[in-house]
Structure 1
Amino acid sequence: MKTLNILWQRLVTPEGATCERCGGTQAAIARVIPKLQEALRPLGIEPVLEAREIALDAFKGMPSESNRIWIGGRSIEDWLSASVGTSTCCSACGGAACRTLEVGAETFEAIPEALILKAALLAASASLSPLTDAAPAPRVRKPGCCGDA
């Protein structure tokens, strides 16, 4: 069975806390994984989630890396033709300018289930492309067709 790798990383303080937006994304991912398992099983694809923690010291140097998702090796913003912004976050982040996801005219601090699901389905679909999986199918020429003169 093929795997669809989903990587999500977020800040985790020494006390084990995270911010509300990362908590919201975590809840959305928890709801998405079973739905993806059910939807992708008939296609021979298994979603595999890896959750990485960013330590507070590392976070301070790169707050935009927290609450970031990659699916099938590409960022969620790539799959969704979205852009990344920032907004001030809460206590666990120390008021840092944390990552937001901008899709069309909407800005999301926590990444909603529907966006994660859409990006994952796009990634799964791309993994099924005959151009990436196998050699091209042989051409079959029918008598009397296209140049058999």
Structure 2
Amino acid sequence: MKVLPIVWQRLVTADGETCERCGNTYLEMVHAVEILRQELHPLGIEPVLRTKTISENEFKAHPEESNRIWIGNKALEEWLDAKAGESQCCAACGDANCRTLQLDAVEYEAIPQQLILKAALKAAAMLL
């Protein structure tokens, strides 16, 4: 079985909290990976999700690294021909702007399942 690595990282505070957009992205990610498991299994591909945390100090130095997704060792925005953006978030993020995804004229704060699936299917096609 070929492995399709999916890595998602986000800020986790000392209190174990994360921002709402990261929490929502996580829920979308879990649903997407379940669909990918069902759809890719007949093709001999196993999606493997790994989550990473960013400390508050790491986030302060590089806020653009939070809520970031890689699929098959390539950033999600590369698969989608999208761009990373930023916007004000919530208390967990402090004064720093949190990562967004800009695709066409739409800015996504939480990454929706359909975009994760689209990128993952492109990556899976490269494994065939």
| TM-score, normalised by the number of residues in structure 1 | 0.85
* Matched residue, 1:5: 5
Output one character per residue of 1:110-131: Cα deviation in whole Å (capped at 9) or x when no partner: 0000000110001001111xxx
Cα distance in 1, alignment partners of residues 48 and 105 from structure 2: 31
Output one character per residue of 1:70-118: Cα deviation in whole Å (capped at 9) or x when no partner: 0001000000000111101100000311111001010001000000011
SS state at 2:52 partner: strand
Moved over 3 A (4+): none
**Relative contact order: is structure 1 or structure 2 higher (C-alpha 8 Å, sep ≥ 6)?**
2
Structure 1 unmatched ranges of 5 or more: 129-149
Which one-letter code corresponds to 1:54 in the other structure? I
Number of aligned residues: 128
SS state at 1:120 partner: helix
Q: Where does 1:27-66 land on structure 2 (aligned, <5 Å)?
A: 27-66=27-66
Cα distance in 2, alignment partners of residues 5 and 44 from structure 1: 14
* Matched residue, 1:103: 103
* Matched residue, 2:17: 17
* Matched residue, 1:86: 86
1:26 shift after superposition? 0.3
Structure 2 unmatched ranges of 5 or more: none
Which one-letter code corresponds to 1:103 in the other structure? L
Which one-letter code corresponds to 2:49 in the other structure? L
SS state at 1:3 partner: strand
Taking only the aligned residue pairs, the percentage that are identical comes to: 55
| TM-score, normalised by the number of residues in structure 2 | 0.98
Cα distance in 1, alignment partners of residues 80 and 35 from structure 2: 19
SS state at 1:125 partner: helix
Cα distance in 2, alignment partners of residues 107 and 95 from structure 1: 20
Cα distance in 2, alignment partners of residues 33 and 81 from structure 1: 21
Structure 1 or 2: more strand by fraction: 2
Cα distance in 1, alignment partners of residues 95 and 125 from structure 2: 38
* Matched residue, 1:77: 77
